[in-house]
Structure 1
Amino acid sequence: MGGGGEKLPGQYMGWWGSLGSPAQKGITSYALSANQQRPLAGTLHTAIFNTARRTRYQILYWAPPLIVAYSTMVWAIERNEYLNSKPGRAEFAESEE
């Protein structure tokens, strides 16, 4: 019977955690949790394959806007360089007046 401290019919085993037997001596045991043994086990492998899986599922959401933005930026840079060059200024010189 487990002990709640009060006397119950039958064998009294003692209060919780003290079951009435003498303390065991001469045996020492040590243990490490799984996190202490190898805290980074499999991290690199998981990171690589998890990143690849998430990229594969999300690429159609972020790649098209990225391509459009890059193309627009390249066009804008080329257009700006042309308009600030000698032929560009000569072409649009009449429209500024």
Structure 2
Amino acid sequence: MRPSINRASEMPGPQRAWSSWWGAPIIKQKGIIQYTLAPNQAKAGPQWIRTYIFNFYRRVSAEAVYFVIPFGIGYGIYTWAKRRDAYQNSKAGHIASGAAHH
């Protein structure tokens, strides 16, 4: 468990606080800044889809080398082995290997 912060744990309030304790007259606070959200930023839906598509393309295209090349090599080995197996189990493959004569 995280220990509480000293300024938040003192009951009567810290000496160097921006606001005073309950019931004291309100003084003008310093250092408080209010931010607002622009109306065009509040509508995130239309921007979200376009941003998602372009960001997805950017990330996938940057990583494509790391999965397209190994996949291509693996698929090439798979198709070569499948064709070779089909040839070796065919009649022409048995005759070529000399296994037809016992």
TM range (shorter): 0.5 to 0.7
Relative to the length of structure 2, the TM-score reads 0.52
* DSSP-derived class of the 2:99 partner: helix
Q: Which residue type is aligned with residue 79 of structure 2?
A: V
Aligned length: 70
Where does the alignment leave 5 or more consecutive residues of structure 1 unmatched? 14-33
Alignment of 1:1-97 (within 5 A): 4-5=22-23, 8=24, 12=25, 40-94=45-99
Distance 2:64 2:101 in 1: 45
1:67 CA drift (Å): 1.0
Distance 2:54 2:101 in 1: 57
Structure 1 runs, 4 residues or longer, greater than 4 Å off = none
Identity of aligned residues (%): 26
Q: Which residue type is aligned with residue 59 of structure 1?
A: A
Relative to the length of structure 1, the TM-score reads 0.55
Distance 1:96 1:63 in 2: 45
Where does the alignment leave 5 or more consecutive residues of structure 2 unmatched? 1-18, 27-38
Distance 1:47 1:86 in 2: 55
Deviations 1:30-64 (A, max 9, x none): xxxx9xx7564423212211111012211111121
